[in-house]
């Protein structure tokens, strides 16, 4: 946790000359009126969205997850992940469809064009509660939506239904207690290093979303310790990022430094549900070669702080100009593919609902047993072991 000071914010702190604390930068730019009015039609559509998303997730996991995460995993962890993530990716693709095709939110990608790398560590600024959802729009364009994973707050594992999904696709829940979190992160990442399994690991080094109050505390801390005074981002926390970098360094193809900004109002989850905001999401990407990142923790700390100083400058320029440099690096999503995926997910869900409610009683028994299994596995963080060693898996083990 960051230890912000409540002492004097003058030009001298503890006898040292420091930079003055500046007021937060992006708040005035992101507190404008709603982009679209919240009318009755949008309210109805929002309610429909709140029904469709959990129901489709629930039906797909209840009927498909036991096979892909339990039965298949006995024979191959690789194929278990492959099929589980494929099905999860189908469901997850409905969110970019909602954002871009239904809500008509404009996504503007800039910076460097992102290649579809296999193993990538992404780090981004954390402006609002839904930043992490917009990374799905980039991942979908690169064919890596099914491969993206997050380190998330353990409290999110209490969300009904969605906690099943977080567990079976192997997100990493943390308690924000480093003595507890470090061994867990290292163990879970060591299990994700099979080069046959693509991985996009997304982290938010600030550790929390940006607010004016948190920004002022971050600036106080920076002033006392001779660090850059940042207006649009918080000072990054090094331990989690460095742990991920250490564990994955030998496997990484690249590191993506992602900066996210919004026009003209910060969105919330419910804004997305109702389709009232945001009007535009701007995503800037800088590709960093792993060999250009230092290895010592204190050097990584300085390197990451410098990256966030550059982010702060980039966001200040965005505030002044309304855009990031070098726009147009990614193509638009295919409407046909989005609609086809949506129809496929809804079709499967309809079949599963029919089997549960109107077919043999054994389908209801299966659904109840499956839900109980998913609840137990999520509660106790259980992943089935690979028991049968397939020739392909054995060959990989020998190489490793």
For 365, other C-beta atoms within 10 Å of its C-beta total 10
From the centroid of its chain, how far is CA 54? 18
For residue 35, the model assigns a pLDDT of 83
What's the rounded Cα separation, in Å, for the pair 320 and 325?
12
What pLDDT score does 97 carry? 97
**Rounded CA gap, 342 and 185, in Å?**
34
- Confidence at residue 29, expressed as pLDDT on a 0 to 100 scale: 53
* H-type alpha helices, the chain: 40-66, 72-75, 77-92, 94-96, 131-141, 162-168, 178-190, 212-224, 238-248, 269-274, 297-321, 335-358, 361-379, 391-399
Compute, in degrees rounded to 10, the torsion defined by CA atoms 344, 346, 350, 352: 70
3-state helix, strand, coil in the chain (%, to 5): 50, 15, 35
How far from the centroid of its chain's Cα atoms is residue 350's Cα? 29
Query: Hey, what are 58's tokens?
Result: 């629930």
pLDDT, residue 212, reads 87
pLDDT for the residue 20: 52
Strand 199-203 relative to strand 16-17, pairing: unpaired
Which pairs with CB-CB distance under 8 Å and at least 24 residues apart come from 45-52?
45/102, 45/274, 45/275, 46/270, 46/273, 46/274, 46/275, 49/98, 49/273, 50/273, 52/94, 52/346
Instruction: Supply the pLDDT for residue 22.
Output: 63
pLDDT value, residue 23: 62
Q: What is the pLDDT along the chain (400 residues), one digit of tens a residue?
A: 333 333 333 333 333 444 556 666 655 456 667 888 899 999 999 999 999 999 999 999 999 999 999 899 989 999 999 999 999 999 999 999 999 999 999 999 999 999 888 899 999 999 998 999 999 999 999 999 999 999 988 888 888 999 999 999 999 999 989 999 999 999 999 999 988 899 999 999 998 888 889 999 999 999 999 999 999 999 999 999 999 999 999 999 999 999 999 988 889 999 999 999 999 999 999 999 999 999 999 999 999 999 999 999 999 999 999 999 999 999 999 999 999 999 999 999 999 999 999 999 999 999 999 999 999 999 988 887 777 765 554 444 433 3
- How would you classify the pairing of strands 148-153 and 12-13? unpaired
Contact (CB, 8 A) for 152 and 171: yes
Report the alpha-carbon distance of residue 352 to residue 46 in Å, rounded: 23
Beta bridge partners of 110: 284, 327
């Amino acid at each position: 946790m960051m230890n912000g000071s409540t002492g004097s914010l003058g030009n001298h702190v503890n006898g040292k000359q420091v930079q003055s604390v500046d007021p937060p930068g992006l708040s005035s730019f992101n507190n404008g009126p709603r982009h679209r009015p919240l009318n009755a039609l949008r309210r109805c559509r929002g309610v429909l969205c709140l029904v469709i998303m959990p129901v489709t997730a629930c039906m797909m996991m209840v009927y498909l997850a036991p096979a892909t995460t339990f039965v298949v995993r006995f024979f191959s962890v690789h194929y278990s992940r492959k099929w589980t993530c494929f099905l999860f990716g189908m469901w997850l693709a409905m969110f970019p469809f909602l954002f871009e095709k239904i809500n008509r939110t404009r996504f503007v990608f800039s910076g460097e064009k992102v290649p579809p790398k296999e193993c990538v560590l992404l780090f981004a600024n954390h402006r609002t509660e839904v930043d992490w959802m917009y990374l799905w729009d980039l991942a979908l364009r690169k064919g890596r939506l099914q491969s993206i994973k997050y380190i998330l707050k353990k409290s999110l594992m209490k969300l009904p239904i969605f906690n099943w999904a977080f567990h079976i696709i192997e997100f990493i829940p943390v308690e924000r207690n480093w003595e507890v979190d470090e061994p867990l992160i290292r163990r879970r990442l060591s299990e994700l290093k099979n080069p046959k399994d693509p991985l996009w690991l997304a982290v938010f080094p600030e550790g929390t979303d940006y607010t004016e109050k948190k920004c002022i505390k971050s600036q106080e801390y920076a002033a006392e310790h001779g660090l850059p005074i940042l207006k649009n981002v918080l000072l990054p926390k090094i331990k989690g990022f460095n742990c991920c970098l250490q564990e994955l360094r030998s496997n990484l193809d690249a590191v993506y430094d992602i900066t996210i900004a919004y026009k003209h109002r910060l969105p919330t989850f419910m804004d997305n549900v109702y389709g009232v905001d945001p009007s535009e999401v701007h995503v800037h990407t800088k590709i960093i070669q792993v060999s250009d990142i230092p290895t010592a923790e204190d050097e990584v700390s300085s390197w990451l702080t410098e990256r966030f100083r550059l982010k702060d400058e980039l966001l200040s320029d965005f505030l002044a100009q309304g855009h990031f440099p070098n726009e147009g690096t990614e193509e638009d999503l295919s409407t046909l593919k989005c609609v086809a995926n949506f129809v496929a997910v809804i079709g499967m869900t309809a079949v599963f609902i029919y089997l549960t409610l109107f077919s043999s009683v054994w389908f209801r028994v299966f659904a109840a047993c499956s839900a109980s299994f998913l609840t137990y596995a999520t509660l106790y963080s259980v992943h089935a072991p690979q028991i049968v060693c397939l020739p392909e898996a054995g060959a990989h083990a020998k190489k490793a």
